[in-house]
Structure 1
Amino acid sequence: MLRRTITLTDVRRLLALLCVFMAVYSCTVIVITVDKYEKVIKVSSARHESLLKNQTLQKNQTPQSHQNLQNPRHFIRPNRKLQVLLPGNPQANDTSRKYDLTAPKLNLTGPTVNPAPEEVRWVEDLSGERQVCTGANQPFILAVVPSAVHNFKQRHRIRRTWANATLYPYTGIRAIFVLGATTNDTLQELVREEMARHRDIIQNTFIDSYRNLTYKSIAWLSWVNEWCQDTPYIAKVDDDVVVNPFNLYKFLHGKRDYNQDLNIIYGCLRKKTKPHRKGKWMVTEEEYSGNLYPPFVLGPAYIVGRKAVGSLVQGAKYTPHFWLEDVFTTGMVARAVGVKRVQTERLLFTNKRTRRLHQSAAFYVGGGEKKMRSAWRDILKYSECCKALVKEWDKSPLL
């Protein structure tokens, strides 16, 4: 049997054939990929056209939430079947009520443009609890804690830690929780039981949602303006923030001694923040057309002087509604009515359990439940008055 010797020429021919095969295969893959990509582009274009048509139709309609806002029947009445306002921005598409980026101050004598402050209604407003902000129980600091209806555990933790009544002689802090409405009857019944047990919850009639946080802020500002007229300071604190009440009292007591001006807001001041055009905090050009927000204080925690409360409530009536509550309240409204905002981020805020937490910081922000528990233990451990409470705290862990 003869065997043929493979020559260099044969090797070259095989390599050439292999190159031709690879080239044909690559071209086929490219053609298939381009074809699929063209189909995706066509589908995306069709969806985009449909979205534009829907937006055009919506511009010619009054949003449902705006209709509800103007109709008192859509508010909850105590001891009646719940009727709630749906989430939304009632003036997002109203071009006649845009925030004026150039106006230095509001004209408080003209027609109002935001009906929300006048339409605040309550399921529970603690009107029977006159001792919240009066007489011997007058707090030096009222902590207002916006909380989601279902956040029972967070409220329980706050009552057992920095808002505990046993610390009041050392901190002068009293806390109330601000809730929105819910359409879940079972959940609402649990809230009613919590109200009866603790008497520290006010609940307004706007449905509890992230998009309705501005309504919640307007509601608690209105409540404080009516019921706590002699309380020097109000600390707005989210329910996932740990407060060092000893440092907060020390800071504000010093400010009160040397500065009687209460037309002020302390917090994490942001001066050149651009609107997000996508993501969780996305704001459309129709909602806000500017390139920068007015200077505002971040929402997780800030301190409002008593004089500023009345100014903010009044100014909110003349400021077009905006759903980002910290930008609206401490930015748009505060700027328009001349409330001073002071940067205290490095002094009062921390997200780490370092020495600063018990030396000067008043707010621990950004930790989970375990970290918040440890942070509170550190606060007690290094406090001048309440070190003995650490052992008691260790014996009764959170539920």
Structure 2
Amino acid sequence: MQLLFCRLRTHQWCFLLFNVALFHALLFGADIVEEYLLQSSPNTYTDVQTLDIRERARKLDMGQVKGNASRYFRISNTDACSHGNLFLLAFVSSNAGNVTRREVIRKTWANVSQVQGYGLLTLFAIGIPQTQATQEEINKEYADHRDIIQGTFPDSANNAVLKTIMIMRWAVTFCPKALFILKSDEETFVNYRSLVEYLLSLKRHAEDLYIGRVNHQVMPIRDPLNKHHVPISLYSGKYYPDYCSSTAYVISQDVARKVFVASVAMVTSMPEDIYVGICARKAGVVPIHSSRFSGEKHIRFNRCCYKFIFSSFGMKSEELDEAWEEINDSRPCTMLEMYYGLIKCKALTYLDKLTSHDSTESEESVPPKH
């Protein structure tokens, strides 16, 4: 009887160790593969142009913008970052007329001002709406929340690049001490807790960081009849530089400065995320891929999965409410729930990443949504 009991205890310990090993393999194993096999080529760019951009970024003086903010911003909100140093400054690119959507985001995933004692600030980036009535609504919204910056350009899909440049300009001018900057879309759910914990775990200096869902070897479309047509005169390379999906990515403060400096000599008639990727390439910054950013993929809700990922795209307002309520539930994930959630996350994100390599082989393919 005693021998049988010992054997049972041994089997229990073996089962427990197996589960612990499996859990860590699911949690970390694929990330190790990703880190070494799916990253962009770790080249160091040291040409004259790159060195010049990096030097100008280091010496960047934004005094002119500070002294004449109304030239660049309809709503400058210059004091939004004045209360102290920030760990993460987040910008949500929003359609000017989507007042209701911004309110949902405020009440859900953006309703976080710190993680583990590290400060966060969320701002909405918009352009000029089509009607004065909408502008009056925005003025009231700004008075109520003080979390909007507004450019001097019309708010349209064609001006997405101008909105991104505005974000970079505001960040380096009015919040230069924020360590990291997140840019996301209003259709995206962002898990601040998971993201900040990851950034805190980085064993590297907070420099040259440009991380998100990387699009690799996307070919410019040369067909003049295609709405995504990019002429050789605008971009002559066979492939675009690797770039992060505009749905959600994080850059360090120095990268914001470098991208802003590089953008001065760039035309803006280009998809937003490709534009940022080209500016980063000119500044010698290599994007880092993380499958915990969903890119343009909508990850079907799973509580344990959503506690792990950084972002999920294509979220409806009711889905935001559900996701926020569930991931803030104090219930811990059981071992089985964690297995299921992580398997689902990994399967969806890694298969999507691997298949995306095949989809970029033809010049007739349509580039990712911008």
Q: Which TM-score bucket, shorter chain as reference?
A: 0.5 to 0.7
3-state SS in 1 of match to 2:143: helix
Q: Report the CA distance between 1:204 and its aligned residue.
A: 0.7
Match of 1:340 among 279, 283, 286: 286
Match of 1:172 among 114, 119, 130: 119
3-state SS in 1 of match to 2:176: coil
Partner of 1:238: 185
**If the length of structure 1 is used for normalisation, what is the TM-score?**
0.61
Q: Does residue 124 in structure 1 map to residue 124 in structure 2?
A: no
> CA RMSD, aligned part only?
2.9
Q: Report the CA distance between 1:293 and its aligned residue.
A: 1.1
Q: How many angstroms apart in 1 are the aligned matches of 2:217 and 2:166?
A: 28
Partner of 2:135: 188
Per-residue displacement from partner, 1:58-99 (whole Å, max 9, x unpaired)?
xxxxxxxxxxxxxxxxxxxxxxxxxxxxxxxxxxxxxxxxxx
Cα contact 2:292–2:311 (8 A) shared by 1: no
Alignment CA distance shift 1:133-1:319 (3 Å): same
Partner of 2:215: 270
Q: Report the CA distance between 1:167 and its aligned residue.
A: 5.9
Match of 1:323 among 270, 275, 288: 270
Q: Does residue 368 in structure 1 map to residue 319 in structure 2?
A: no
**Paired AA for residue 294 in structure 1:** P
**If the length of structure 2 is used for normalisation, what is the TM-score?**
0.66
Q: Report the CA distance between 1:283 and its aligned residue.
A: 3.1
Q: How many angstroms apart in 2 are the aligned matches of 1:150 and 1:304?
A: 27
Q: How many angstroms apart in 1 are the aligned matches of 2:110 and 2:101?
A: 12
Per-residue displacement from partner, 1:15-34 (whole Å, max 9, x unpaired)?
xxxxxxxxxxxxxxxxxxxx
Q: Report the CA distance between 1:133 and its aligned residue.
A: 2.5
Q: Report the CA distance between 1:274 and its aligned residue.
A: 1.6
3-state SS in 2 of match to 1:193: helix
Q: Report the CA distance between 1:282 and its aligned residue.
A: 3.9
**Paired AA for residue 164 in structure 2:** S
Alignment CA distance shift 1:280-1:195 (3 Å): farther
Cα contact 1:218–1:316 (8 A) shared by 2: yes
Unaligned runs of 5+ in 1: 1-101, 385-399
Q: Report the CA distance between 1:104 and its aligned residue.
A: 5.5
Alignment CA distance shift 1:356-1:298 (3 Å): farther
Larger radius of gyration: 1
Q: Does residue 377 in structure 1 map to residue 325 in structure 2?
A: yes
Q: Report the CA distance between 1:105 and its aligned residue.
A: 5.9
Aligned pairs (5 A) from 1:62-73: none
Aligned residues: 269
Q: How many angstroms apart in 1 are the aligned matches of 2:99 and 2:135?
A: 12
Q: How many angstroms apart in 1 are the aligned matches of 2:246 and 2:107?
A: 23
Q: Report the CA distance between 1:243 and its aligned residue.
A: 1.0
Partner of 2:204: 259
Sequence identity percentage: 25
Q: How many angstroms apart in 2 are the aligned matches of 1:375 and 1:311?
A: 35
Q: How many angstroms apart in 1 are the aligned matches of 2:330 and 2:190?
A: 14
